[in-house]
Amino acid sequence: MLICVWPSVRWVIPELTACLASGKYPWPMFSPEGPSVRELAMQALSSVEGGYDLLAPKFDHTPFRTPDSVLGATADALRPLGPFGQGLDVCCGTGAGMRMLKPLCEGRVTGVDFSAGMLAQARSAHQDAEWVRADVRALPFAEAFDLMVSFGAFGHLLPAERPALFAGVYRALRPGGLFAFPIGAPQPITSGWYWALLGFDLGMWVRNALWRPPFVMYYRTCPLSAVRSDLTASGFTVTTVPLTALGRREDGSPKARLVLARTASSP
């Protein structure tokens, strides 16, 4: 439970493995500026919001911040579809997504998150962006954006909560607007990571059954098929493109895809 600070390990496993193997982020501290074991334990025993508030000052010094490779692959896939007007990063954290969002948008860019600590770090790093503190299950926007992105946030939502998020995203987008996010291919059952992630989810279920406040973070609750179904039910037209820059599996299929969910155009 001590490494639950970034929910997209499914498609960042190569980067994480390389970091650990190289010694760049030696255990138990990821880097000299990173969180200690005690700080990670405090985060793991907090609520989601409280945990990220605690971790925020050191979050960017862990291997769990969205890797530049993921941001770059996403930007490369979105660039031919733009330029876009206004942009929003959903569950923006410390603002890493702004690295790819700002160059794609001609208008203002905004980040939304419910952690005051993470937003404070984002404001410091990107003073030319706007920042909003809000629960993404009740986004306070209406037809305000042309492009919305999100990186590794869905594990913090129970499956029953995704429809509220996607309905809010749909309302926040202008007609013909685009919601884009990368999603990893499932790990094969023969992979050690399959069992590691399964064990993590089981451990988190036990933790939340025995400890309050709960920390919602599950790796296996948002497969592409379920996410696509929820998006379609919210009114989106959904397609995907492979993010081949992030590698391929042994069967040749991409390790990650970019989900492209569009709202209906004006009549």
CB atoms within 10 A of CB 266: 7
Cα separation, 12 vs 217, in Å, equals 16
CB-CB neighbours of 181 under 10 Å: 23
Least confident of 29-38, 92-101, 240-249, 257-266: 29-38
End-to-end CA distance of the chain: 49
Residue 133 C-beta-side C-alpha neighbours within 13 Å: 12
Average pLDDT over residues 139-158: 93
* CA 146-108-117 angle, 5° bins: 105
Whether the bond into 213 is cis, omega within 30 of 0: yes
23 vs 10: CA distance, rounded Å: 21
Q: Could you tell me the two tokens for 46? A: 């907090």
What are the residues whose beta carbons fall under 8 Å from the beta carbon of 187, sequence distance 6 or more? 10, 13, 193, 194, 197
CA torsion through residues 141, 230, 87, 118, sign: positive
Instruction: Please state, as a whole number, how many other Cβ atoms lie within 10 Å of the Cβ of residue 134.
Output: 14
pLDDT grade, residue 218 (50/70/90)? confident
pLDDT given at position 80: 96
How many angstroms from the chain centroid is the CA of residue 227? 14
Q: How many CA atoms lie within 13 A of 130 on its CB side?
A: 10
| Per-residue CA distances from 235 to 48, 155, 209, 227 (Å) | 29, 22, 35, 13
Q: Give the pLDDT score at 212.
A: 84
Q: In which band, very low, low, confident or very high, does the pLDDT at 152 lie, cut at 50, 70 and 90? A: confident
What's the predicted TM-score (pTM) here? 0.83
77 — pLDDT class (breaks 50, 70, 90): very high
pLDDT at 253 over 50: yes
What pairs with residue 76 in β-bridges? none
Highest mean pLDDT among 4-8, 36-40, 184-188: 184-188
Rounded Cα–Cα distance for residues 100 and 70 (Å): 10
